[in-house]
Amino acid sequence: MTYVLAAPDTLDERGFESLVAGWSEAEGNRLLLDARHVRWVSPYGVLGMLAVGSVARAYFGEAPLFQPPENRNVASYLARIGFFEHAAEIFELPGRIPRRAAKDSEGLLEVTAIRSHQDVHEVVDHVETRSATIIGKRLGYPPTAVLHFSMILSEVCQNIVEHAEGDGWVAAQTYNWKQRVGGVVVVIAVMDIGMGFRGSLAREHAQRFGETWSDRKALEAAFLHGLSRFRDPGRGQGLQGIRKQTSRWNGLCTIRSGTAQIAEVPDWIDRAPIVSGLPDFPGAQIQVVLPEFVPPDENRRGGRRNA
């Protein structure tokens, strides 16, 4: 018996939640991820399909099936961002799938797998060649921000290697969000299907929380208070650094793990900083959205802050 999981037409952060909710009700002995009606997909949604497929493969013990989008633009985008190359390792794909063009896009970081420290270094080296264009020319950030951008990406990817103990992926894309933000943004997505924050921190910190220990408490401990599974001095500061830098640039940073999500929320979006009771899903799912740079004088006049 095959369980059909239909992807929503908009596959972004909310669309991923729809996939997880559907996955939590999965029955049968094989999954079919039906993406035929997807009309728009973000890097978060792209990685979400890989994550759901990987979990289904482990759960059912068989490669899940995948039906690609019927929309040619969406299918072409999935090819360009490298989705099908990674999906081939997870899903049973149909015979004909779009091929990725050889030319790289300046505003795009293709899906990259993270399984070791070497992968993290390669990701950072790869993105550094495009950082100046992505956040310099496209977002207008000063040269020092290029280094900060790389450090954020490196730290987020490093967490997969050191904490997740499971497969992970990273991808990024620039968009023009004039109606929501007033200009161009870069969306960075990082996902893994490992033990999650609760599992990672349990050995060192669960006892002090007692019966209140949960996914939410684990996220608060790591994101707000800098707790880590390691006892070394200085450990655990990376996520706090990401949160503070994202806030300084008036960006959005969300981390989902298990049944909870925590966020650093900017002034251009209305959402709860902490959410509990979500459908359970392995690992951690991170999204960072950085808007165009606004010079300090304009920050004071317009209320935005990302200097």
pLDDT tens column, 198-230:
888 877 766 677 788 899 998 988 888 766 554
Distance CA 87, CA 90 (A): 5
pLDDT at 13: 95
Distance CA 243, CA 220 (A): 12
For 297, other C-beta atoms within 10 Å of its C-beta total 9
pLDDT at 3: 92
CA angle 155, 156, 162 (to 5 degrees): 80
pLDDT at 164: 63
Residues of the chain with pLDDT under 70: 101-104, 130, 163-165, 179, 205-207, 226-238, 296-307
Q: Which domains does the chain have, with CATH numbers?
A: 1-98 (3.30.750.24), 106-307 (3.30.565.10)
User: Which one-letter DSSP state was computed for residue 180?
Assistant: T
pLDDT at 179: 67
pLDDT at 307: 44
pLDDT at 235: 42
Spatial contact of 89 and 115, defined as CB atoms under 8 Å apart = no
Q: DSSP per residue over 89-126, as a string?
A: TTSB--S--PPPPSSPPTTEEEEEEE-SHHHHHHHHHH
pLDDT at 299: 53
User: Which one-letter DSSP state was computed for residue 161?
Assistant: I
Distance CA 30, CA 284 (A): 24
The one-letter amino acid code at 244 reads K
pLDDT at 216: 94
pLDDT at 163: 66
For 203, other C-beta atoms within 10 Å of its C-beta total 9
pLDDT at 44: 97
User: Which one-letter DSSP state was computed for residue 164?
Assistant: I
Here the tokens at position 155 are: 């730290």
pLDDT at 232: 44
